[in-house]
């Protein structure tokens, strides 16, 4: 009986854990994003591959370096910064000069995450912080699009991609307009089938609504995403755009165009649902999601820009703590008014 | 509320049950250890007072300690033998407690001494309560709260419904399951005593539906004159918590800070009920109990009727443990307490012994990540607290805010929050510390 004389470990209960960890959740989000990224490379070729690589590498390296400096221990192993890098890369135009991509990646991590205290502390989605900064700094480059499935996309790069830092990038003559820009500025509606399958122009990873939904469904079945958030975002966006379209089909885009174009699908599924920036209660998630969906459509419809998902999510992140402040579960055995928030 | 035909509560978690290995094993008698160490405090309340002296020869079943006041119960000799000494023994809390060291006679027939029976037909409610106290009955589900205290209904309150708790939601444990299969008549006799003692008009036996044989067996033998029913419950932890059980079966909530009586209900564990039904007709006391001994490190897993006071070391040597055992819990892995040493003994509140090995300990609380606000804990907490927010407050030791704004004192420490936390934050552990600090502050104020 050698075992019985062994030193025992003691802790207080519970002594078992569910097996989920931050790392496993984040890794599965990365997995869910892989098909989206692969499709992006297929659609936009080398430009997308380089954009994604540089985006992920700049985010990961920045996090590695800053966390090593601040705590002596690199935190890239929890996979969260890989998500940031991937999402950030997927929201960029494929022809964006790579030096801008790298700069934005550093901004994502430093201004989006590190300054607030790292994982779990960031009020805003870090990927969108980086993207928003680029949008403000380089408005032309951030709205110059490449047509998908261009011939020779695996052999050559757009001339802008390798533009030298701080020079004015040259854009190829043929630059594709996104479905939203087509609608907003020319009132041309893109076919629904092309939208769903991703046969359009747009940011690196926002074009294939179908693959995004598949990735999201995977996370939902593993309980790694609160399904209420994408449901609320898409539901609210659909409700508002359908109402407008019904009232005036000439003026307002169809709900199908609204749902499957631009960053709405990617944003609703992978960015609005980011655990850190969203409310903790299910009711809160419904409110938060609906707010984002409505805001995105409002910006798209009446704002100056064709796309509004990024700002809608950032605004949603901003009100999320306020939602949590007001919406709390009613504690068992109390009446609603007794529960203080 | 009902879910797929079975009653349940909202939230909760689904840890792996791990009951398959022992659920089919009949209760076996555990042998007497060469020395039984019977702590004089095995229950919540005041320690019992020993009524035997060192060197005295005692008979199995004889009273060895009397209750010290109302919040205390009697103790009985688990074996015929001689009192070696009355001295200090380690307890699960880490404190040394007074205990009777009883050396069983090796050749004794171990006949059990009967006492004065408590006749079901003629006894008054108060007589039944006294008999339960004299029999040393405490909550055998693990809380070890003196049962007669719980059954004593204060002036102005009433219990309409008696709920018999056969949920056994704790992973690994199968004692209540076996008791329901093997002691059906004891359970029904016990229910008769309890109904008479409390004045409750009806009785519901709640059993999680992962024990369909127990549900069927109980329903089959239900006496027609007994106002009782057997209800299947969804398998979910912590279904066996009193508040969850009441919500599942009666559809109402126990008010915050209140007792089940405030919902006109009273919950008694099914093993406790069976013991009452088994002991009272003979005037006997609790000198043994049913436990499950299981876990990856245990070789002879099973359900045993074990003498109170059996040392943990003897128990593990008898069932055999693998050499790499490194964690032993009294109870199951969700609610059980980790044994700090093997010199503890089995008490009335021990519902099981689970032992784990190094290999099974891969899920360690090694590294805590920051909270990522995933909301898993909010979705798990059966009483709808916000463990994440409580955790932030606990870290900053803002105990008053935890109590006043976040209902800390409603937490009954089921541990669901810690179980689901992907950041491995020791939430319930922090809440225990905070609750202890609050109680201390209140006591000194």
pLDDT 10s digits, B246-259? 999 999 999 998 99
> Which residues 272-291 on chain A approach chain B with CB closer than 8 angstroms?
275-276, 278-282, 285
Kindly tell me if the per-residue pLDDT of B365 is higher than 80: no
In chain B, residues with a C-beta closer than 8 Å to the C-beta of A339 are 407
Residue B436's Cβ-count burial label (10 Å; 0-12, 13-18, 19+) is: exposed
Angle at the Cα of B292 (from B290 to B298), degrees rounded to 5? 145
The answer to whether B335 and B172 have CB atoms below 8 angstroms apart is: no
Cβ separation A340–B404 shorter than 8 A:
yes
The answer to whether B115 and B282 have CB atoms below 8 angstroms apart is: yes
How far away is chain A from the Cα of B339, in angstroms, using its nearest Cα? 7
Nearest Cβ partner for B365 among A5, A11, A117: A11
Q: How far apart, in whole angstroms, are the C-alpha atoms of residue B57 and residue B40?
A: 18
pLDDT value for A4: 57
Over residues A90-108, the mean pLDDT reads: 93
% of chain B at pLDDT higher than 90: 84
Cβ separation B321–A4 shorter than 8 A:
yes
Cα–Cα distances in angstroms (integers) from residue B347 to residues B100, B129, B289, B351, in the given order: 12, 22, 9, 9
How far away is chain B from the Cα of A21, in angstroms, using its nearest Cα? 4
Mutant choice from B374, B402, B408 vs A, greatest count of A C-beta within 10 A: B374
> Which residues 200-259 on chain A approach chain B with CB closer than 8 angstroms?
226
Give every CB contact of residue B142 below 8 A, 6+ residues apart in sequence. B170, B331, B335, B336, B349, B350, B351
Over residues B13-39, the mean pLDDT reads: 95
In chain A, residues with a C-beta closer than 8 Å to the C-beta of B411 are none
In chain B, residues with a C-beta closer than 8 Å to the C-beta of A330 are 384
In chain B, residues with a C-beta closer than 8 Å to the C-beta of A13 are 329, 331, 333-338, 415, 428
**B362 vs A112: which has the higher pLDDT:** A112
Give every CB contact of residue B72 below 8 A, 6+ residues apart in sequence. B43, B45, B46, B47, B48, B146
The answer to whether B282 and B117 have CB atoms below 8 angstroms apart is: yes
Q: How far apart, in whole angstroms, are the C-alpha atoms of residue A153 and residue B332?
A: 60
pLDDT tier for residue B5 given thresholds of 50, 70 and 90: low
Tokens of A81: 């910064």
Q: How far apart, in whole angstroms, are the C-alpha atoms of residue A101 and residue A56?
A: 10
Identify the H or E element spanning A233.
Answer: helix A228-247
A1 near B CB under 8 A:
yes
Identify the H or E element spanning A285.
Answer: helix A282-302
Cβ separation B337–A12 shorter than 8 A:
yes
pLDDT value for B63: 94
Tell me what percent of chain A is helix, strand and coil, each rounded to the nearest 5. Answer: 60, 0, 40
pLDDT tier for residue B32 given thresholds of 50, 70 and 90: very high
The answer to whether A90 and A125 have CB atoms below 8 angstroms apart is: no
A10 near B CB under 8 A:
yes
How far away is chain B from the Cα of A321, in angstroms, using its nearest Cα? 11
pLDDT value for A3: 47
End-to-end CA distance of chain B: 42
In chain A, residues with a C-beta closer than 8 Å to the C-beta of B171 are 16
Cα–Cα distances in angstroms (integers) from residue B412 to residues B11, B253, B332, B381, B428, in the given order: 15, 15, 16, 10, 9
Q: CA dihedral in degrees (B178, B184, B186, B189; nearest 10)?
A: 150
pLDDT value for A336: 63
Main-chain phi, psi angles of B384, to 5 degrees: 60, 35
pTM (predicted TM-score): 0.91
Kindly tell me if the per-residue pLDDT of A337 is higher than 90: no
Over residues B239-244, the mean pLDDT reads: 94
Count of other CB atoms within 10 angstroms of residue A296: 32
Main-chain phi, psi angles of B233, to 5 degrees: -120, 145
Q: How far apart, in whole angstroms, are the C-alpha atoms of residue B178 and residue B184?
A: 10
Kindly tell me if the per-residue pLDDT of B310 is higher than 70: yes
In chain A, residues with a C-beta closer than 8 Å to the C-beta of B405 are 340-341
Angle at the Cα of A52 (from A110 to A99), degrees rounded to 5? 60
Nearest Cβ partner for A121 among B171, B370, B388: B370
Q: How far apart, in whole angstroms, are the C-alpha atoms of residue A274 and residue A319?
A: 14
In chain A, residues with a C-beta closer than 8 Å to the C-beta of B317 are 1, 4
Q: Which residue has the tokens 């879910």?
A: B3
Residues A145-172 have pLDDT tens digits of: 877 777 778 887 887 888 778 777 766 6
Over residues B349-367, the mean pLDDT reads: 74
């Amino acid at each position: 009986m050698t075992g019985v004389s062994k030193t025992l470990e003691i802790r207080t209960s519970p002594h078992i854990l569910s097996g989920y960890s931050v790392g496993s959740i984040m890794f599965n989000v990365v997995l869910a994003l892989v098909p989206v990224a692969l499709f992006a490379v297929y659609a936009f070729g080398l430009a997308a591959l380089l954009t994604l690589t540089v985006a992920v590498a700049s985010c990961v390296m920045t996090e590695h370096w800053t966390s090593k400096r601040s705590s002596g221990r690199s935190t890239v192993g929890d996979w969260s910064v890989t998500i940031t890098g991937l999402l950030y890369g997927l929201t960029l135009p494929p022809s964006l000069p790579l030096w801008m991509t790298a700069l934005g990646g550093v901004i994502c991590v430093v201004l989006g995450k590190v300054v607030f205290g790292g994982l779990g502390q960031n009020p805003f989605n870090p990927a969108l912080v980086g993207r928003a900064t680029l949008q403000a700094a380089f408005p032309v480059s951030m709205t110059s699009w490449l047509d998908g499935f261009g011939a020779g996309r695996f052999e050559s790069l757009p001339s802008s991609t390798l533009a030298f830092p701080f020079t004015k990038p040259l854009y190829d003559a043929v630059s594709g307009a996104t479905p939203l820009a087509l609608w907003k500025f020319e009132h041309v509606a893109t076919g629904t089938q092309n939208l769903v399958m991703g046969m359009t122009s747009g940011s690196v990873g926002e074009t294939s609504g179908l693959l995004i939904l598949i990735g999201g469904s995977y996370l939902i079945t593993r309980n790694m995403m609160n399904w209420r958030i994408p449901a609320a975002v898409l539901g609210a966006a659909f409700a508002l755009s359908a109402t407008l379209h019904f009232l005036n089909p000439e003026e307002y885009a169809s709900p199908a165009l609204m749902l499957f174009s631009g960053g709405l699908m990617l944003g609703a599924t992978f960015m609005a649902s980011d655990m850190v920036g969203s409310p903790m209660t299910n009711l809160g998630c419904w409110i938060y999601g609906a707010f984002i969906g409505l805001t995105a459509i409002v910006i798209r419809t009446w704002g100056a820009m064709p796309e509004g998902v990024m700002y809608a999510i950032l605004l949603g992140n901003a009100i999320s703590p306020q939602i949590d402040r007001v919406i709390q579960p009613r504690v068992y055995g109390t009446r609603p008014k007794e529960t203080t928030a | 509320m009902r879910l797929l035909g079975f009653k349940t509560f909202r939230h909760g978690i689904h840890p792996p049950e791990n009951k398959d290995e022992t659920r089919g094993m009949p209760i076996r008698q555990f042998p007497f250890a060469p020395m039984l160490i019977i702590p004089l405090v095995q229950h919540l309340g005041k320690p019992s007072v020993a009524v035997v002296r060192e060197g005295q020869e005692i008979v199995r079943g004889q009273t060895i300690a009397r209750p010290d006041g109302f919040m205390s119960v009697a103790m009985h000799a688990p074996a015929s033998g001689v009192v070696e000494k009355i001295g200090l023994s380690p307890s699960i809390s880490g404190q040394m407690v007074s205990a009777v060291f009883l050396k069983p006679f090796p050749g004794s027939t171990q006949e059990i001494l009967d006492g004065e029976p408590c006749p079901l037909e003629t006894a008054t409610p108060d007589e039944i309560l006294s008999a339960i106290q004299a029999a040393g009955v405490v909550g055998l589900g693990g809380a070890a709260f003196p049962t007669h205290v719980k059954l004593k209904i204060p002036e102005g309150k009433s219990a309409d419904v008696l709920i018999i708790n056969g949920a056994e939601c704790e992973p690994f444990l199968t004692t209540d399951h076996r008791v329901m299969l093997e002691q059906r008549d004891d359970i029904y006799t016990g229910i008769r005593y309890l109904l008479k003692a409390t004045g409750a008009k009806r009785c519901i036996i709640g059993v999680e539906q992962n024990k369909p044989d127990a549900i069927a067996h109980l329903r089959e033998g239900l006496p027609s004159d007994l106002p009782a029913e057997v209800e299947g419950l969804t398998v979910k932890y912590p279904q066996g918590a009193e508040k969850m059980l009441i919500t599942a079966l009666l559809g109402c909530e126990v008010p915050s800070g209140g007792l089940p009586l405030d919902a006109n209900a009273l919950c008694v564990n099914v093993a406790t009920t069976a013991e009452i039904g088994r002991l009272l007709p003979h005037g006997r006391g609790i000198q043994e109990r049913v436990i499950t001994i299981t876990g990856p490190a245990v070789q002879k897993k099973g359900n045993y009727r074990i003498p109170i006071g059996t040392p943990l070391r003897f128990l593990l040597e008898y069932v055999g443990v693998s050499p790499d055992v490194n964690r032993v819990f009294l109870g199951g892995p969700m609610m059980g307490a980790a044994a700090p040493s093997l010199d503890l003994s089995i008490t009335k509140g021990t519902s099981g012994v689970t032992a784990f090995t190094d290999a099974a300990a891969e899920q360690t609380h090694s590294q805590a990540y920051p909270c990522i606000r995933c909301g898993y804990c909010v979705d798990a907490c059966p009483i709808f607290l916000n463990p994440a927010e409580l955790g932030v407050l606990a870290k900053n030791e803002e105990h008053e805010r935890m109590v006043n704004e976040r209902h800390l004192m409603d937490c009954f420490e089921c541990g669901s929050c810690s179980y689901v936390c992907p950041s491995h934050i020791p939430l319930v552990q922090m809440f225990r510390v905070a609750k202890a600090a609050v109680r201390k502050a209140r006591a000194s104020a």
